[in-house]
Amino acid sequence: MCQLSKVQIYTPSKIIQLILEGFEDKVLKSEVLWDCLTCNQCLKDCPENINFADLARMARYKMRHTTNKNVEELIAHKGVYTTISEIMSRPYINPDRNLDWVPKDCPISDKGNLLYYVGCLPFFNYEHDKVDSIAISTLQILSKIEKEPIVVFKDEVCCGHDLYWGQGKLKTFIKLAKKNLEMFENAGVSTIVTACAECYRTLKIDYPEIFEDFSEKFEVKHIIEYIYEMWKEGEIEFISSSELSEEISFTYHDPCRLSRFLPKENNITEKVREIFKEFEKLNYKFNEMAHNKSNSLCCGVNSWMNCNEKSKALRYKRMLEAKDAGTVMVTSCPKCRIHLSCLQKDYENLASIEIVDFSEFLIKHIKIIDKNNKKEESE
């Protein structure tokens, strides 16, 4: 069932039917396709495999040119963040990012093998708290495990996700993609790690559709996958942090981009749960929310579009589920964290839930297995 229909009248099947019956113009004119959350829930349930979210994206491209409606009104924060992305797409703009957040013990470079693609986090600092800590913990994890310095760009540009999905700005998206590709090539990277669900989906699925050999040249990994692999290869183990005395129950919010937007063989949702299972040994208790994995509820704001009372209701539903499931809510999308914790300012009863990013959650619990030591022991 459509997620949006939980809070307003919205029937994707009816819209599809109208289009099939030849009323495409009417549908476009009615502007209903601006409302869709592009959460992909309906694709999962659709017997005919109709990708409604993608349809909404393409319709937005068309609607922008035909509509009289002021699209800007639909964008959250008066469009600050999407305008930033657009400015970055210009060929004459060379971002000069603040790298003060980089911890002293994490060597970084501008050329190398493994790139940490930070995403727009440094810009979110503008209004949202503690977003740096996601970048810090991700980089700390990476530098703990890797021997070489991690590549972090000072002039990294946006991946373009929000413009692509939110406003159907295909041309700007392609400009950004080209800029990114050029930077990846110049730096000679072969692996790209990101902690953002949206960047991940964009680099993994959308870029290869524009550049044929993208997936041959670069391997894109979400930090979950990266940690999972390292763990399976026996490079790291999970330890309990000394501060823990009593059992902590926690839950996981699946971002739509990781649970419904990836091909079937990509089982990130299972991998992350396997890691959490391991955490049960460390005095943690993992509980599922009522809606989980590919059924998980949306945070309500996609690509900074349509932040209104309806999307607030969606967030409220999600937070209630989280409250039932535990005291800590882990997520792996920085924006999910931003939107969900935004709600906590308005509702005291929800303020007790601690919302953390996957990397922030793990950083205290990762230990490198020292292979040399082991060898000596066995000898």
Binding residues for ligand SF4 (CB under 6 A): 2-4, 12, 36-42, 52-53, 76-77, 197-198, 255-257, 298-299, 301-302, 304, 307, 333, 335-336, 338-339, 342
Q: Report the partner that residue 94 touches, choosing among ligand SF4, other proteins, none (CB closer than 5 to 8 A by kind).
A: other proteins
The helix, strand and coil proportions of the chain, stated in percent and rounded to the nearest 5, come to: 55, 10, 35
Give the integer Cα–Cα distance in Å for 199 and 176. 12
Residue 92 lies near other proteins (rule: CB under 8 A) = yes
Instruction: Of 330, 320, 159, give the one whose Cα is nearest residue 251.
Output: 330
Burial class (CB in 10 A: 0-12, 13-18, 19+), 311: buried
Those residues whose C-beta lies under 8 Å from the C-beta of residue 285, and which sit 6 or more positions away, are 247, 248, 249, 250, 326
Residue 190 lies near other proteins (rule: CB under 8 A) = no
**Which of 7/282 has CB closer to ligand SF4?**
7
Q: Report the partner that residue 360 touches, choosing among other proteins, ligand SF4, none (CB closer than 5 to 8 A by kind).
A: none
Instruction: Of 221, 230, 298, 303, give the one whose Cα is nearest residue 262.
Output: 221
- The tokens describing 220, both together, are 């894109």
Residue 171 lies near other proteins (rule: CB under 8 A) = no
Reduce the DSSP state of residue 94 to 3 states and report it.
Answer: coil
Residue 84 lies near other proteins (rule: CB under 8 A) = yes
Instruction: Of 281, 270, 273, 256, give the one whose Cα is nearest residue 335.
Output: 256
Q: Report the partner that residue 92 touches, choosing among ligand SF4, other proteins, none (CB closer than 5 to 8 A by kind).
A: other proteins
Rounded to a whole number of angstroms, the minimum distance from the CB of residue 228 to other proteins is 32
Q: What angle do CA 329, 265, 44 make, to 5 degrees?
A: 65
Instruction: Give the x/- contact pattern for other proteins in 126-155, rule: CB under 8 A.
Output: xx---------------------------x
Q: Is the distance from CB of 224 to CB of 194 less than 8 angstroms?
A: no
Rounded to a whole number of angstroms, the minimum distance from the CB of residue 304 to ligand SF4 is 6
Find the distance separating the first CA and the last CA of the chain, reported in whole Å. 60
Rounded to a whole number of angstroms, the minimum distance from the CB of residue 98 to other proteins is 6
Q: Report the partner that residue 256 touches, choosing among other proteins, ligand SF4, none (CB closer than 5 to 8 A by kind).
A: ligand SF4
Q: Report the partner that residue 194 touches, choosing among ligand SF4, other proteins, none (CB closer than 5 to 8 A by kind).
A: none
Kindly determine how many residues on this chain lie close enough to bind other proteins according to the rule CB under 8 A: 24
Considering only 95-103, 207-215, 288-296, 365-373, which stretch makes contact with other proteins by CB under 8 A?
95-103
Give the integer Cα–Cα distance in Å for 104 and 67. 51
Q: Report the partner that residue 84 touches, choosing among other proteins, ligand SF4, none (CB closer than 5 to 8 A by kind).
A: other proteins
Give residues in contact with other proteins (CB under 8 A): 77-80, 83-84, 86-88, 90-98, 122-123, 125-127, 155
